[in-house]
Chain A
Amino acid sequence: QKEVEQNSGPLSVPEGAIASLNCTYSDRVSQSFFWYRQYSGKSPELIMSIYSNGDKEDGRFTAQLNKASQYVSLLIRDSQPSDSATYLCASRDDKIIFGKGTRLHILP
């Protein structure tokens, strides 16, 4: 059974600080990894894709992948109240397997 594990949270972070979200995955053959953001009552929105070991930066977001440890993380710098949402980690081999998400709350 392929699984993606995340801490459900909530993770509370002061405005302006760095939010760090983590997940692990079980399927070693997965080649593609994603972070989705989901606001309450809305559909998941793709915010980051990462395919190789190391860091990938896009604006205030940095995704990190370590295939040896089967570990993916997302850093959000200068956290804003609008970043408050549930963040879903996902891995893809033939299909995407989602974690259950981490609820992030940015404290004004």
Chain B
Amino acid sequence: DAGVIQSPRHEVTEMGQEVTLRCKPISGHDYLFWYRQTMMRGLELLIYFNNNVPIDDSGMPEDRFSAKMPNASFSTLKIQPSEPRDSAVYFCASSPPGGGYGYTFGSGTRLTVV
């Protein structure tokens, strides 16, 4: 398996622009998670899906952030409009059915908003 695939690896955008991050989970994994990592705050859970349904979005910072999972093999995280404080590494992770397992992380997207 190719693992969790994220794109793009790096994104530099101007403040106010829309940013879309993409994720393909491991086939057969029914949990998908979006995390954001910064030096100050560590790894923060933004939202997670189970069987394509959003279960907990309490970590989404504000209405500028939205996430979708239209099918079992694809998810997006969108920021509109972007702000400099959104600069971070965004990770997608997936885990198998059962709920008690560890996650496999993608390589992450390093977002810089200038």
- Find out whether the CB atom of A43 lies under 8 angstroms from the CB atom of B33: no
Instruction: Count A-B contacts at CB 8 Å.
Output: 45
Distance in angstroms between the alpha carbons of A99 and B100 in the assembled complex: 18
- Find out whether the CB atom of A98 lies under 8 angstroms from the CB atom of B56: no
Q: Verify if A88 is at the interface (C-beta below 8 Å from B).
A: yes
Q: Verify if B43 is at the interface (C-beta below 8 Å from A).
A: yes
Contact residues in B for A34 (Cβ distance below 8 Å): 102
Find A95's partner among B33, B91, B104, B107 (CB 8 Å cutoff): B33
Given the known interface contacts A43-B107, A44-B105, A45-B105, the answer about A92 and B100 at a Cβ–Cβ threshold of 8 Å is: yes
Q: Verify if A71 is at the interface (C-beta below 8 Å from B).
A: no
Contact residues in B for A36 (Cβ distance below 8 Å): 102
Contact residues in A for B107 (Cβ distance below 8 Å): 42-43
Closest chain A residue to B56 by CB distance?
A95
Given the known interface contacts A34-B102, A49-B102, A95-B33, the answer about A44 and B56 at a Cβ–Cβ threshold of 8 Å is: no
